[in-house]
Every structure is written in structure tokens, then in C-alpha cells.
Amino acid sequence: MNQSHTRSRWRLWVAVALFITINAIYWQDPWFWRNYLQFFLSGSPTAVELLVPDEEIRGDGSFVLPVAAPEARTISAAALAEMERFAAEYGSHALIVVHRGVIQDEWYAPHWQRDQLTQSQSMHKSLMGLFIGIAIDEKRINSIDDPVGKYLDEWRDDPRGAITLRQLLQMSSGLAQYRFTLNPFTDDNRWLNSGRSGDVLLRTPLADWAPGSRYDYNNTNSELLGMALERVYGQRYSGLLRDKLWLPMGGERARVHTDRPGGRAYTSCCLAAPAMDWARIGMLLLGKGEVHGRRIVSADWIQQMITPSPAAAHYGLQIWLGYGDPAVPPEHAGSSGAIVSGPFLARDTFMTWGRGQQHVFVVPSLELVIVRLGPALGRAPIKPGFDLGHLVNTAIQGMEPGAGTSP
């Protein structure tokens, strides 16, 4: 009887200690565990994938692109049908084709609606390129050759503070990588899930190579750019997104994921917006910084964004460049599940690029913008084999005689 009583008391104390330990771990960073759980619950081929907590950005929807009548299209019906077939084969939510400022095709999957929000994933990074240019135009930032320590006080007297904004923009910062892991007790996981993600990012160590000496695609670079932007403007990122981009470009709405309610916005990923707003961003890039009759950022800055960096011919300032043959190095496309069957038929093609093959393709010489969006979350958001050049090349091959040149 005494032994049984002792065992019961021991089990009770173990249970109490375990309860206290679990609660202590949870309440140190409660939003980490909620964000961490989202990973296992996310990933749907048909549902809207929202990441919470988030903050809404509202535009006025005033920029409405004209739509070509079937008989007035400058891209053939056969080419557009093939693009729709390809989009459907790869589980797309939306496909929008704009040529010379006129919508040629606006297609949505049967499970999708025009105003539904799609996760950008790393397409969001390209907005960091735009915002740094806006900050330079507005003299909030002096130069992209400024050290980041000028804008992040925590690194002012730290060797990492010598990394330049240019090196962050070009993915050549020399910062170490956070690797994918399901282990919740490492910074490799906490940078994306912690309710205090900024603290984790500022702990990022240097790698074993000199900043500027190589290309190394790193989410931390874009997150630090977002943190610097908030510091120079003294404004939350959601407010910057609304005031500097969504309202001026006549956009509709978006939702940006934050690490906790009222916390830091993620700026390397996690911006949800409808497909038409990404078409508007494509038109801004095509217009060399001008859209909806408004100058958002200087034309010179857009040219800098789409100029190959010394470390990587396929990458500019937070944007991908398809100038080569193949369009981008196969190892970079292959890591995302894409293939590169050959070059873009227009060698001035550039693009945003997010996980799950979220894309805005821009071809300045042909005044062409193509948006393709689909599932973005979960372990495998798209089946392998997505040919990076297929949509652009199909549209170019289907252009009616004389339609590919400006009047």
C-alpha cells in the first residue's frame, strides 16, 4: 500500500513538473508554437492559404487594365489556350496575360475566384528592391553602398554592420544560411516562426566567405532590408506597403504576415494578394517605375534592379533575370522543382519568383507581362517539371504579325 502510494505521488510530481516545463517553454514565445503548427496544417491545392497573424493593406482598385475583345487580341487564341492548359496542368490558381497594356487573357481555375488572395512566397523579395529605390528617391537612404549598420543600430559597431545594402540586395551579403529543419529549438526554425523573429535575424552569424565575393540566395538578406526600411521611415511595413505602393499603383488589397499581432512583418515571403495586383506590379516594372499615370520609383532605379550583379548574371537587385542560355542556371531552377528547357525567346525577360512557381514575367521589348500563381505552402506545392520559359515563349510565338513591336 505504501509503495503504491509512493508511486502515485511520484507520478503526480512528474506530471506537475512536466506541465510547468511545457507551460514555461510555451509562454516564452507563444506565437512561435502557433506559427510552427501552421506549417503542418498548411498546404492545399485549392484553398486560400492565409498565414496568421497578418495585417491588411487596402488600395482603391482604381487602376483597371482594359480587356481585349476576342477579335482584337494580339496573341492568338491557340497560344492562349496552350498557356491555360499548361497552367491547369501545374495546378495553377490564376493566369493573366497582358500585352501592350491590354489584358489578352485572364484565367482562373474552377476552384478559384478573381479576388481571392494567393501567397507570394519569395515574390515579396522583389518589393524590397522597389522600396529601397523609393527610399533613395525620397532621400531616406543615401546610397545602396551604405553599410547596413547605418540603419540597424544593433549592428552599428558589429562586423556584420559593414555589409552594404547593395550586397543584401544582390544576395551576396556573406551571412550564414538558415537551413530547413523541423527542430523547433534552433534558430534555423525560429527565424521564420518566432514571435520575436527580428531578434533571431540579428543573431545571424557571418559565413566563411567575404561579403560581395559570391552569390548566395538567402532569406535573411530580404528580412534585414525590410527591417532597415521600417527604421528609416519610422513606420510599420504594412503602412509603407499601403502608402508607397498599393494606393499609388491603384491596387486592391493584400495581407502581410507578421510574427505576432502588431509584430514584425516578414519581407522575404508571406504577402497574400490577388492575381490582378501582381499584374499591376508587373505593369509598374514594365513602365520603368511608372504605373497608373504615377511615378512610383525612378526609371534609373528599375534599370539598376534589372542589371546583372557581378556575382550572378541571373540576378539583379532582388529580382531574377532570364537573359542567358539557359534562362537561369539549371541548379537554381531545379531546386524549386522547375526545369529550364532553353532560353527565353526574348532575352530581356526578367521575373519575380516565389516557391510553388509564383511568377510575374516581364518582357520590356515586347511590352508583355504574364502572371502565374498557384499553391505556395506545404511540403510540395507544385509537381516537378514546370518549364520556366514555357508561358513566355508560348505567348511570344503566338503574337500576331506586327504585334510584338511598339507602334
SS3 75: strand
For the segment 125-141, what is each residue's pLDDT rounded down to a tens digit? 999 999 999 999 999 99
d(CA 391, CA 165): 33
Q: Which residue has the cell 497582358?
A: 98
Quote the mean pLDDT of the chain.
Answer: 93
Which has the minimum average pLDDT: 28-42, 94-108, 257-271, 279-293?
Answer: 28-42
For the segment 39-54, what is each residue's pLDDT rounded down to a tens digit? 888 899 999 999 999 9
Cell representation of residue 335: 531546386
pTM of the model: 0.94
Neighbours of 241 (CB within 10 A): 25
Residue 303 phi/psi, 5-degree rounding, is: -60, -40
How many percent of the chain have pLDDT more than 70?
A: 92
Q: 62 CB contacts (<8 Å, ≥6 apart)?
A: 250, 292
Q: Please tell me the predicted confidence (pLDDT) of residue 24.
A: 47
Q: Are strands 102-108 and 54-58 parallel, antiparallel or unpaired?
A: unpaired
Q: Please tell me the predicted confidence (pLDDT) of residue 16.
A: 54
- Using CA atoms, how far residue 160 sits from 267, 304, 343, 374, 376, in Å, is 20, 24, 37, 37, 32
d(CA 355, CA 217): 13
Provide the residue type at 352 as one letter: T
SS3 338: strand
For the segment 364-391, what is each residue's pLDDT rounded down to a tens digit? 999 999 999 999 999 899 999 999 999 9
